[in-house]
Structure 1
Amino acid sequence: MGKEKKFITCDGNYAAAHIAYMFSEVAAIYPITPSSTMAEYVDEWSAFGRKNIFGDTVKVVEMQSEAGAAGAVHGSLQSGALTSTFTASQGLLLMIPNMYKISGELLPGVFHVSARSIAAQALSIFGDHSDVMSTRQCGFAMLATGGVQEVMDLAGVAHLAAIKTRVPFLHFFDGFRTSHEIQKIEVLENNDLAPLIDQKALQAFRDRALNPEHPVTRGTAQNPDIYFQTREAANKFYDAVPDVVEAYMQEITKLTGREYHPFNYYGDPNAENIIIAMGSVTDTLKETVDYLMSKGEKVGVLIVHLYRPFSAKYFFKVLPKSVKRIAVLDRTKEPGANGDPLYLDVKDLFYGMEKAPLIVGGRYGLSSKDTTPAQMIAVFENLKMKEPKNQFTVGIVDDVTFKSLPVGEEINLSPKGTFQAKFYGLGSDGTVGANKNSIKIIGDNTNKYCQAYFAYDSKKSGGITVSHLRFGDQPIRSPYLVNTPDFVACHVQAYLGKYDMLKGLQKGGTFLLNTIWSIDEVKAKLPNSVKRYLAQNNINFYIINATQIAEEIGLGNRTNTIMQSA
């Protein structure tokens, strides 16, 4: 590589916005959780005069709805400016009419989507793939990333390939789980990616811009005599996409040393049972595959990066010939369908093939439901059954339609030397802010890798917040909550009777309690279940009265800095 590696500690939204800024001349924005901070970063950088790859400042326009933002993207692309937007969930649905136009007119726009649940029986602000799956017929190429480093590495591929192929791209990653997870990652800069732009294709895009000097007719109505034919005329543009994406991924591999393809395979080259998935769960699967291989099992995971166009060529290029059974995991639910989208796509590739593997599909992780290695082991266990369950769910207990798989005890798959901590706080008491500081201090000032994820409930201020922190000497690829912590801090003593705080706390671990009770009162009032756990697992137990200290030194109800130092 030759150049000095530069690391930053940031979340997935920052990584996506950082890359989008480089390739955008215009960004049309309208904020919606969890994509809002992408637009905020771009707006802030523009205000402070940051330059994109072309040496200009991005022009940011905030519209009054997502439909407006998509319309602005469409118009801006027609005028020959490279344009991006950022959205999720209902916001993405409002962009669908314009998405058909943008792809139909072969305009190289890029949408960055922190994938989120769609409001069905109830609204949920949390992450899954139901929004992006509702746009798969719009004619956008779809690129999936599974972690903060992958967002940094591959977001640029969406922009580069859109310019070269003229097909617009939707780049998506898991809302909250990737968009808000903080990781220490290697950063790519303008001068890394600028040489990869196809200048001829870019000039051709500029030349096609609407211009009074050379007027053209666009946006007409077409009748039965030609509409069908012109719809088909775009085929060759889509046929070119997988090869272009592969070529750009090879350039990224040269830059970073991390290997990327439209589909990546990880695991035993002679695997018999594999799981196919996309998004953040693929990191959990890598951990699980390593664990099962160490026990002598022949397993693997096939990771989907380029979801549309769905390329059989690149799929079979990495699929081991030895595979006998496949479980396809979808993070969405399509009621009434014969299976969820990724499952049907995979099944279709094997249609009519002799000795095709047995393929089952399952759902996991809807609305950011935590997806752990124990659940992934359950999916592999299901594959070993004489008749594996199809259309299963994992991660919930379904006692109504009995589709769920039984899941065993949680296991700790973190590499040796990884420290895991869990902090229970109250919305707006500053716990989350203090933990963000701590993790950035560790990430930016030590050579340790780190990860932070904050589980809120949607009540925001006054609701429970749980901060999940990990740091260690090896990259952390555990995109799930800390279930086997070394350290637990409870900042609100009222939680003691409400939540099972010590669940999974490792033997010899540490428990810190912020309490207004004296030592004797703690001995008297601590629930017996807690005392028993502390004794049986040899836990180091500390108490602090941060509330009193905060009052004494004039911090009011902000106990965060005191708890942070403790």
Structure 2
Amino acid sequence: MGNRINTIMQTCFFALAGILPRDEAIAKIKKAIEKTYGKKGAEIVQLNIKAVDRTLDNLYEVNVGGANSNLHILPAIGDAAPQFVREVEGVMLARQGDSLPVSKLPCDGTYPTGTSKWEKRNVAQEIPVWDPDVCVQCGKCIAVCPHATIRGKAYDAGSLANAPESFKSIDVKDKAFAGQKFTIQVAPEDCTGCGVCVDICPAKNKSMPSKRAINMESQLPLREQESQNWDFFLGLPNPDRAALNLERIRQQQWQEPLFEFSGACAGCGETPYIKLATQLFGDRMVIANATGCSSIYGGNLPTTPYSVNSEGRGPSWSNSLFEDNAEFGLGFQLAISKHQEFACELVQKLAGILGDNLVSQILNNGQKTEADIYEQRQYVAQVKELLAGNTDPDAQQLLSLADYLVKKSIWIVGGDGWAYDIGYGGLDHVLASGRNVNVLVMDTEVYSNTGGQSSKATPRGAVAKFAAGGKPAPKKDLGLIAMTYGNIYVGSVALGARDEHTLKVFLEAEAYDGPSLIIAYSHCIAHGINMTTGMSHQKAIVESGRWLLYRYDPRRTEAGENPLQLDSRSPKKGVKDSMYAENRFKMLTKTKPEDAKRLLKEAQQDVNTRWEMYKYLAERSLKSEE
């Protein structure tokens, strides 16, 4: 067989080089293919050759103008953008980066954040349009938007005084904000048109059952109008974060996202989790990001989707390699902890200047809630005011470290290729350290960024590179391995299945004083699904038991309670329907139907066994074992 394949390749080369006549080469290739793959393979090759030949009859010249044409590959960056964006990143966007002198580039390698908003890609043919009369204000469309192009706000009616004529608003339904107005607004030039928001919307128009509270309409006729509405919306005051109920998606999603307009795929399943984290903790986040999809859409030149709020606070982000990202993040934690420790020592040392009351407030603030964080920042502001102009060396050192008195939220972020495979040794080391870090694993069950190779997170029966015949082994249970330590918070979530469960896990994990691990199911284009219905598909795989929702919280053990809470209901259906809704499973039924049948049966047994094991572990009574 190997010799025949070599013959095919050699014949192709001779034909391309003009050594063999085309017809003779085709006949020779066809004969070799028939011997190797049978007549069906030869027929497919012949069809491919015909398709190539027919393209020659359908090539037409498109006149795009001469060398001095005004044609732009990408829209020019507007004058409103900062100078660096216009003169450096704008040049890169126009694909003229080679013309930049070194003197224009940042000497320390850092780039400004919040620059993706200046791109205005205009890639969507259709964008979502909000119907306020049908909307139930649940916030689900905002939560699942992969590019943060859908936003919601509650605000005083007086803020509408200068609103554009087409700007939509309605009374807030939430009683906690009674008397205020509410708007959902879309950024038309940043939206990718994936339609995930429409698919997730639960509100149906009773007079037009095919319509929902948000519907897709042509972008071009709406672009100018909705761009004006978007600009006005951004100028509306954001709700007071301390007044929001962060355990309810409908209110929590009014928080400003500090991750927006990334270059991720339309309908991406990963980015909503990052956006959620930045909404909750972004003004004090420090992120170590493993190489992969999240590093490409998170920090690829020329623009950056991580942004800042009106006070100039936002996530600090840096990328490391697959194999050492966990250690990279641990380094952040060790350095920040030492800065915090030293700052607290200086606060005590300078009590004579700061006052015992302020010192006590700073050192005894648990910083567990938004209100606590806000108070701590006020205390830090007082410290800076009291020490301003003080030339004492200790005072000068405290001024340089004062911001470390506010709790930092350290996140180690990456995909399953990093967490389950290449970086697993380092991840295990960091989790075992007991240090207060938060790990977010966006599990696509395959190496997404590098072309769809099988990982240890790939489930049994899935076709991927290095598993062309369907992965023969079951998926590695990263969460169960982490639970064996007993002191790690572990959460398994799927935003499309239960959004408020996802929200609860993020809040509990970040509040836990120790290592936490969140494993987030992330649908991916590599799965071979309709990305528009990605969130609905997440719900389907949870209902089939392929993905479990649970929380393992060591703090419950202290109260004599079982630390494991199984938040999934028992599987409603078999795995067949949800598996064969994905091409990565379905294609095996075409190429190796008998193997597909066997692997489907084994995959169902995997799900049954795992469900029974988790159910048993979650139902155990700790008290009965004493």
Fold equivalence (TM over 0.5): no
Structure with higher helix content:
2
Rg: which structure is higher? 2
Please state which band the TM-score falls in when normalised by the shorter chain. 0.3 to 0.5
Using structure 1 for the length normalisation, give the TM-score. Answer: 0.33
Higher relative strand content: 1
